[in-house]
Amino acid sequence: MAGQSKLSPLQSAVAGATGAVLANAMVYPLDIVKTRLQVQVKSQKLDNGHTPEDAKEYPHYDSTLDAMNKIVADEGIAGLYSGIGGSLIGVASTNFAYFYWYSIIRTLYMSSSRFPKPPNTAIELSLGALAGAVAQVFTIPVSVITTRQQTQPKGEKRGLIDTGRDVINSEDGWTGLWRGLKASLVLVVNPAITYGAYQRLRDVIFPGKSNLRPWQAFVLGAMSKALATIATQPLIVAKVGLQSRPPPIRNGKPFKSFGEVMRYIIEHEGPLALFKGIGPQILKGLLVQGLLMMTKERMEVLFILLFAYLQKVRKSRLRQAAEAAAAKAKGSLVTLK
């Protein structure tokens, strides 16, 4: 297995995407809850003078547990998994793109003689941000559609394709699928902080260790994600506001920038509302990142073994083909004689 001790960027991307899908599928109800909490505005007034909290189609959630109870009561258990198909497609594509470009960018950095080795914290963050920016440009449409699916009222549930058509037809055409791109590009600091902190914590706590135990990878992943979430929560809330349906008080007028969303939230709910939903956001982040890094570490080991086996099988088939060709050639020579 000496020739296959390290995964290629493509193999690392597949391992990372697989781990991300498994991790997000396990905690998906928390994703629904944090999105619902982040899009609600407590002081909205409808045309009839009632608040959305009093209207059945706009339920108000007081906490993570309250949101779960009300979603299940209104939509059944399936309500906690609304939009999971699109979400997992988005998770797979985003993480595939991120790990692929991160592996390439970091490999190029490490192979260059002009930069210090190993990279310091600032450089790790920069490498992660660059990889995250490239990944976001290609994968944000799925994020927009998933956010819409997660916030659709019970009687208006639509599939991935139909929701995408609604976004295109009701707003800015095809560019509507890239709503929140600027906020997403700013938010690349989140995975940058996450993976930068992960690498730094790993070097400090487990120096020189090539393969971590599952619990070690889980703890490091959870710690790094918590730091990133606290630092970027206002931007996360603003991004969700950009990508979801506009509040009823705006009469269908969508937000144009994450700055506008943040001003709106502060005006109606105060500055602390920029951190609404941070409970399930951190809990989801802790679980997802911990499970992701734990799973990715195991997936990488499995992929190393798998590709080593495939390489062995390929060499065996090539050898058999060469032997068959040699035997055929030898038989032809005997016939000619």
One-letter identity of residue 238:
A
CA distance to 46, 242, 264, 267, 324, per residue, from 43 (Å): 10, 18, 11, 10, 79
pLDDT band at 137 (very low <50, low <70, confident <90, very high): confident
**How far apart are the C-alpha atoms of 199 and 316, rounded to whole Å?**
38
* 48 has pLDDT over 50: no
CB 89 within 8 A of CB 142: yes
pLDDT band at 166 (very low <50, low <70, confident <90, very high): confident
* 297 has pLDDT over 70: no
Take residue 239 and report the two structure tokens written for it. 């991004």
Q: What is the pLDDT of residue 321?
A: 79
Q: What is the pLDDT of residue 151?
A: 78
Please report, for the chain, the start and end positions of each structural domain, with discontinuous segments joined by +. Answer: 2-336
CB 18 within 8 A of CB 302: no
CB 53 within 8 A of CB 59: yes
Radius of gyration of the chain (CA): 24
Q: What is the pLDDT of residue 1?
A: 36
pTM: 0.61
* 317 has pLDDT over 70: yes
The better pLDDT of the pair 192, 69 is held by 69
Q: What is the pLDDT of residue 132?
A: 79
Q: What is the DSSP string of 229-254?
A: HHHHHHHHHHHHHHHSPPPGGGTT--
Q: What is the pLDDT of residue 175?
A: 77
CB 303 within 8 A of CB 14: yes
**What tens digit of pLDDT does each residue of 248-273 get?**
677 767 787 778 888 888 888 888 88
**48-65 average pLDDT score:** 63
Q: What is the pLDDT of residue 161?
A: 83
- pLDDT > 90: percent of the chain: 1
H-helix segments, the chain: 9-26, 28-39, 64-75, 84-111, 121-150, 160-170, 181-186, 189-205, 214-243, 258-269, 278-336
Q: What is the pLDDT of residue 326?
A: 74
- pLDDT > 70: percent of the chain: 83
In whole numbers, what is the pLDDT of the chain averaged over residues?
77
| Residue 297 DSSP one-character state | H
Take residue 276 and report the two structure tokens written for it. 């609404």
Q: What is the pLDDT of residue 304?
A: 73
Q: What is the pLDDT of residue 318?
A: 81
**What tens digit of pLDDT does each residue of 92-109 get?**
888 888 878 888 888 888
Three-state secondary-structure class, residue 175: helix
**How far apart are the C-alpha atoms of 66 and 33, rounded to whole Å?**
9
**57-61 average pLDDT score:** 70
CB 293 within 8 A of CB 228: no
Q: What is the pLDDT of residue 2?
A: 37
**What tens digit of pLDDT does each residue of 140-161 get?**
888 888 888 887 777 777 777 8
Question: What CA dihedral angle connects 64, 70, 74 and 77, to 10 degrees?
Answer: 50
pLDDT band at 335 (very low <50, low <70, confident <90, very high): low
Q: What is the pLDDT of residue 225?
A: 80
CB 232 within 8 A of CB 195: no
The better pLDDT of the pair 111, 154 is held by 111
Q: What is the pLDDT of residue 53?
A: 47
The better pLDDT of the pair 80, 287 is held by 80
Question: Spelled out in words, what is the top-level CATH class assigned to the domain 2-336?
Answer: mainly alpha
